[in-house]
Amino acid sequence: MTRPASDELGFTHRFLAADPAIGGRGGRTPPVLLLLHGTGGNEDDLLPLGRTLAPGAALLSPRGKVLEHGMPRFFRRLAEGVFDLPDLIARTHDLAKFIRAAVTHYGLDSERLVAVGFSNGANIGGSLLLLHPGLLRAAILLRAMVPFEPDVLPDLKGTAVFVSAGRTDPIVPPSNSERLAALLREAGADVTLAWQPGGHNLTGPEVEAAGRWLAKHSGAR
């Protein structure tokens, strides 16, 4: 179902309920996936990816509220790779508010909430980890950059993060991916940094690797 931006949750979004007939991998209860699209995407873009990563999982997929030349994003940027930090922080808080409201509205298990973000969506996913520790059980960040470096690191112990980066990504330098992984580790997260031979586009093998990782890290705390 799709909800308009004027509803009580505040974001245009797609919600697909869990399918108990499918269930999780290995007989485990599937996670709740928060799907965060890249620039120019919408609430439908990552639904196929969510179904591939966790068959039977509940899917919550909001559309970013910022428009850049008509393309939806989750926060503003000043240039390629240069973020509008006040806007990023404000939008992250707004997204966290939506997530908490959606968990209550749809009766979701907050202990199984896993963010899956690509590019701009992965960046705000990283910002959620830094600004709202404990909100996410885990996160899969695909082609993410360091959103910002907080003065005081949050406590991310018990949070698992899969960072997938391209060796030849023209948008995200390898050094930035390494710094993101290091920053999250410094905060106490269990981080897997997976390198891909390609650029900014996703590949089948890395989606399979992310699915295997998710099957190991999406259990309740």
Is 175 annotated as catalytic?
Answer: no
Give the E-state strand segments of the chain in sequence order: 2-3, 13-16, 32-36, 58-62, 66-68, 71-73, 77-79, 82-83, 113-118, 138-142, 160-166, 190-196
Query: CA–CA separation, 77 vs 139, rounded Å?
Result: 22
Q: What angle is formed at CA 39 by the lines to CA 52 and CA 96, rounded to 5 degrees? A: 75
Residue pair 207/143 in contact (Cβ under 8 Å)? The answer is no
Please confirm, yes or no, whether 84 is among the known catalytic residues: no
The active-site residue, picked from 45, 127, 164, 169, is 169
Among candidate residues 93, 105, 132, 200, the one labeled active-site is 200
Q: Of how many residues is the chain composed?
A: 221
- Please report, as a single letter, which amino acid is at residue 87: D
Q: Verify whether residue 105 is a known catalytic residue.
A: no
Residue 23, phi then psi, degrees to nearest 5: 75, 180
Q: Which of 13, 45, 61, 119 is catalytic?
A: 119
Rounded to an integer, what distance in angstroms lies between the CA atom of residue 74 and that of residue 121?
A: 7
- Distances from the Cα of 65 to the Cαs of 40, 124, 200, 206, in angstroms? 11, 12, 23, 28
Going by C-alpha positions, the residue among 166, 96, 173 that lies closest to residue 136 is 96
- Catalytic positions are 119, 169, 200
